[in-house]
Structure formats: C-alpha cells, structure tokens
Amino acid sequence: MKIAIVKYNAGNIQSVMYALERLGVVPVVTDNADELIAADRVIFPGVGEASSAMACLQEKNLDQVIRALKQPVLGICIGLHLLCEYSEEGDTHCIGVFKRRVLKFLPKMKVPHMGWNTFEGRSSLLFKGIPEAGYAYFVHGYYAETGPETIATTDYITPFSAALHQDNFYAVQFHPEKSGDVGALILENFLKL
C-alpha cells in the first residue's frame, strides 16, 4: 500500500512519518500531483498558519489536486482547517471539502487549546475500537464549527468538530501521531478504510 503525505509549508510531517513507520508503513512525502493521485491513501497533516499554508498549496496547485482526490484522505489539525470552506485565521478561503467555517476561540479560557482531551460521537470506522474514555492530544487556537459532516466533537470553550467526514475525506482536529495508543489505532483504522 502506497501512503503519501502532502508536502507543503506546514510543520509536523516528521511526527506523522514516525507514527506511520511504527505501524510498519513507509510513506512518501511529496508535493507531486501524480504521486498524490497514485497513492492508496493521502495524509494531509500540518501545524502552521492558514493563509500562508493555503498560499503555498495554491502556488503548487495542490488545493485543486487535493479537492479532486478519490482515495481516502486524512486531514490533521491545520489539514482539517484547510479542508473546510473558510478560516478566520488570515481571512482565508480554503479548499472547501467540508462546508464548515473555522473560527477563533474566544479567550474565555487559555488559548490555544493545548493538551489531552476526550472526544465524543465517534460515528465512523475511523474510531473502531477506540474506548469511550480515550484521550487525544490537541494544540489549536482555531476550531471548525459542528455540522452534518461532524463525526466527533470536543468541548473546549465551545463544542467544536473534533473530526469530520465527507465522502472519501476524513479529518481530525487532534494529533493522532501524538496521541499514544488511541492515535495509533486511528491511523491504523484509516489505513484499513
């Protein structure tokens, strides 16, 4: 099975690579459209700022390539944000797979939301075998609204989409690559979709 990780100017790609290697998978990190299209699975990770990340994708036409992918795609953190329609971060128009807006947390509590938290819902094969008390690791100052594509929620200041699903696109706000056994199982489930 060929796994491709989208290469662009967003961090955390190495952590995702190591998490996949622990599962026995050696991914290719690429910004080549043909390699992304030919992959069996595509992972769209990232830590960064939405407008500059989106500009990088557009410069390489990767926004169009990603939107047209037919195989299972997993967005992680900013990957989730960029798969949405719009982000308040940098007033950014994004790829638009999920018809959700990404909003800035109001500073009623510590922002960014950082650390371990539970997520509820789990109405997807992505979460097969995940215990109800399972925790995942979050680091983010922006969040996706809940809506029809929401398959898991977390509550921090306000309820938000911890995970989204539309057709062949999946996305998680948390970092499975940093979420221990729970995260490893989510990545393994994604590879089996």
DSSP class of residue 182? Answer: H
For residue 85, give the nearest of 76, 75, 93 by alpha carbon. 93
Q: Which residues are catalytic?
A: 77, 175, 177
DSSP class of residue 177? Answer: G
Instruction: Identify the helix (H) or strand (E) that includes residue 153.
Output: strand 150-156
Phi-psi region of 135 (alpha: psi -120 to 50; beta: other; left: phi over 0): beta
Q: Decide: helix, strand or coil at residue 41.
A: strand
> In the chain, what are the helix, strand and coil shares in percent, each to the nearest 5?
30, 35, 35
Q: What is the DSSP string of 111-146?
A: SSEEEEEE-B---SGGGTT--TT-EEEEEESEEEPP
Specify burial of residue 21 (Cβ count, 10 A radius: 0-12, 13-18, 19+): exposed
Q: What angle (nearest 5°) sits at the alpha carbon of residue 31, between those of residues 28 and 34?
A: 80
